[in-house]
Amino acid sequence: MRLKTMLSRAGFTLVEIMLVVIIIGALAAMIIPRLAGRGEEAKVKVAKSDIDANLATALKLYELDNGSYPSTEQGLAALRVKPNTNPLPENWNGPYIEKDPLDPWGHPYVYVSPGAHRSDYDLSSKGKDGASDKGEISNWQ
| CATH number of the domain where residue 94 is located | 3.30.700.10
Please give, one letter per residue, the 3-state secondary structure of 83-107.
CCCCCCCCCCCCCCCCCCCECCCCC
pLDDT at 1: 53
- Range of the structural domain that residue 78 is part of: 41-138
Helix (H) or strand (E) holding 71: none
Do residues 97 and 55 make contact, with C-beta atoms less than 8 angstroms apart?
A: yes
- pLDDT grade, residue 11 (50/70/90)? confident
pLDDT at 130 over 60: yes
pLDDT at 86 over 70: yes
Give the number of domains in the chain: 1
Close Cβ partners of 81 (under 8 Å, ≥ 6 residues apart): 94, 95
pLDDT at 7: 55
What burial class does residue 103 get, using C-beta atoms within 10 Å of its C-beta: 0-12 exposed, 13-18 middle, 19+ buried? buried
Name the more confident of 30 and 13.
13
pLDDT at 38: 77
pLDDT at 129: 76
Domain presence at residue 34: no
pLDDT at 3: 56
Domain presence at residue 64: yes
Domain presence at residue 25: no
CA angle 141, 103, 36 (to 5 degrees): 90
Domain presence at residue 65: yes
Domain presence at residue 26: no
Tens digit of each residue's pLDDT (9 = 90 or more) over 48-70: 999 999 999 999 999 999 999 99
Pairing of strands 110-112, 122-125: antiparallel
Residue 140: how many other CB atoms lie within 10 Å? 12
pTM (two decimals): 0.72
Using CA atoms, how far residue 49 sits from 60, 70, 98, 133, 134, in Å, is 15, 20, 16, 19, 19
Residues forming beta bridges with residue 138, ordered by sequence position = 124
Domain presence at residue 29: no
Tens digit of each residue's pLDDT (9 = 90 or more) over 116-125: 898 899 999 9
pLDDT at 79 over 90: yes
Domain presence at residue 5: no
